[in-house]
Amino acid sequence: MRTWKQYGVLAAVLVGGAAASVYGFFATGGAMPMGKRFGAIVEGGATSGGAPLVDLGRGVVTPEPVDVLGEFVPIVIACFLLGGFFFAYAMATQEA
């Protein structure tokens, strides 16, 4: 596979991921101010019965706001380390 094709696929994946992230952010109410979101929750009350943890209409349900330094940053660091490992492995096993 040529390098420009690899970069094209990578760019398409990154653009697709960014578009899905922005859509998910707005679809789940992430852009709504916290006071307005809390008011909507209080007015609506708790629903009875169980529900799935991941609902495509609501997104991922968390009991409290996500701790960026405690949860998000380690995942990003792990992805970078894993990507670096795969890159080093590919370079080491590449034929001359």
In the predicted structure, residue 67 carries a pLDDT above the cut 70: no
Q: How many CB atoms lie within 10 A of CB 27?
A: 13
What value does the mean pLDDT take over residues 66-86? Answer: 83
Section 74-82 average pLDDT: 90
Q: What is the 3-state secondary structure (H, E, C) of the chain?
A: CCHHHHHHHHHHHHHHHHHHHHHHHHHCCCCCCHHHHHHHHHHHCCCCCCCCCEECCCEECCCCCCCHHHHHHHHHHHHHHHHHHHHHHHHHHCCC
Q: What is the pLDDT of residues 11-36, one digit of tens each?
A: 999 999 999 888 877 777 666 666 66
Question: Residue 82, Cα to own-chain centre: how many angstroms?
Answer: 17
- What pLDDT, on a 0 to 100 scale, did the predictor assign at position 84? 92
For residue 65, what pLDDT is reported?
Answer: 66
Q: What is the pLDDT of residue 58?
A: 63
**Mean pLDDT, residues 48-60:** 59
User: What average pLDDT score do residues 65-79 get?
Assistant: 77
Q: Is the pLDDT of residue 82 over 90?
A: yes
Mean pLDDT (whole number) for 39-61: 60
